[in-house]
Amino acid sequence: MKPLKITACVLLGASAIAIAVMCVMSVITPIKFDETKIQREEEVVANLKALRTAELEFRNQNGRFTADLDSLILFIKTAPKKDLVKMGSLTEKQLEAGMTEEKATEIFKAAKARVEKMDTVFESDSAKFAYIWATDKQMIDAGLQGFARDTLRLNMLEAIFKGQYTEETIAEICVIPHSGGQKFKVEVNNEYTTASGTNVPLFAIYAPFESYLSDLDEQELINLIDQEKTLEHYPGLKVGDVEEPNNYAGNWE
Between the two ends of the chain, the Cα-to-Cα distance in Å is: 66
Residue 175 belongs to domain spanning: 37-72+164-253
Mean pLDDT computed over 95-115: 95
Q: What pLDDT score was predicted for residue 152?
A: 83
Residues 123 and 243 in one domain: no
- Give the number of domains in the chain: 2
Asked if 148 contacts 165 with a C-beta cutoff of 8 angstroms, the reply is no
* Position 84 in a domain: no
Model confidence pLDDT, tens digit, residues 173-215:
999 999 999 999 999 999 999 999 999 999 999 999 999 999 9
Instruction: Give the residue from 118, 146, 174 where a domain finishes.
Output: 146
**pLDDT of 21 higher than 50:** no
Residue 253: Cβ-neighbour burial (10 angstroms; 0-12, 13-18, 19+): exposed
pTM of the predicted structure, to 2 decimals: 0.74
Report in angstroms the alpha-carbon separations of 175 from 54, 73, 178: 14, 12, 9
Residues 115 and 234 in one domain: no
Asked if 172 contacts 140 with a C-beta cutoff of 8 angstroms, the reply is no
Asked if 152 contacts 85 with a C-beta cutoff of 8 angstroms, the reply is yes
Residue 88: Cβ-neighbour burial (10 angstroms; 0-12, 13-18, 19+): middle
Residues 171 and 118 in one domain: no
**% of the chain exceeding 70 in pLDDT:** 89
Residues 135 and 247 in one domain: no
